[in-house]
Amino acid sequence: METIRLGISTCPNDTFAFHGLLTHAVDWRGLDFKVELLDIQQLNDRLFADSFDVAKTSFHAALLLADRYLVLPSGSALGFGVGPLLLAARPDTQPTAAEQLTLCPGEQTTAALLYRLFHPGTTRVEQVVFSEIMPRLQAGAADFGVCIHEGRFTWQQQGLHLVEDLGSRWEAETGSPLPLGGIVASRQLSPATLATVQQVIHDSLQFARADPAAALPTMRRHAQEFDDSVLWQHVELYVNDWTVDLGAVGRRALATLAERAAAVGITVGWPLTVLGD
């Protein structure tokens, strides 16, 4: 039995999609998955350290790791209206001064890349765990923060202020859905193993979509936000037909991200390849 070191994030769209795999409700097809659930930047860091065979990662990180990992067709988070939000501690403020501080959720996150694309050189940037961003803004310890995950739905309750929806700006400038993150697999895995991993993930996703309520206990167990309505908002926004299969539109979105990243100096030695292409 071949062991697969699998890393996924704790955000509700991943725990929803992987519920069937995590609970053995779908057939592992002869593989032995050893699963860790981590913050997205922790996953990115661990991928750079070769700690996983298969993992969820930011597409920003996937670009940098394209020589070592393929993107799987299933499991991605991309779409319209899914982007990170640039929030402010105070109303009517903009990131324009070097003494201002912006918190981002990790150097290789797609959220940090979007901030770099749209607000280059405007403020000091500090990378922190995503769950620290809104509390630090509330405490006045930073001027701005790039908010992801469940916080996208709760920032108003925290008394924070919207500067810009970075995803909406991406959509306006590119006409493309925003590719946030996806499942990558090591190029060192055999073609048969890669195909099997892809099928198990596809099966798990379809299992959850067929009976969404069954996944709720798994989602609750790992969520930062415990309000069920927020968890379902998250799933409804980030789990869609492109999660089942990237398709031609998803692949074009990845190509656009690579082009935009190159324009700000993020060079990729290998093209970002989707399994089967």
In this structure, are residues 46 and 6 in contact, taking their beta carbons and an 8 Å threshold? no
Single out the catalytic residue among 149, 161, 222, 234.
Answer: 149
C-alpha 259/C-alpha 267 separation (Å) is: 9
Burial per residue of 136-162, b for 16 or more beta-carbon CB atoms within 10 angstroms, e otherwise: bbeeeebbbbbbbbbbbbbbeeeebbe
Q: Residue 205: enclosing H or E segment and its boundaries?
A: helix 191-210
C-alpha 116/C-alpha 60 separation (Å) is: 11
What DSSP assignment string belongs to 82-131? ---EEEESSTT--S--TT-EEEES-TTSHHHHHHHHHSTTSSEEEE--HH
Q: Is 165 exposed, middle or buried (0-12, 13-18, 19+ CB in 10 A)?
A: middle
Is residue 149 annotated as a catalytic residue, yes or no?
A: yes
Active site residues: 149
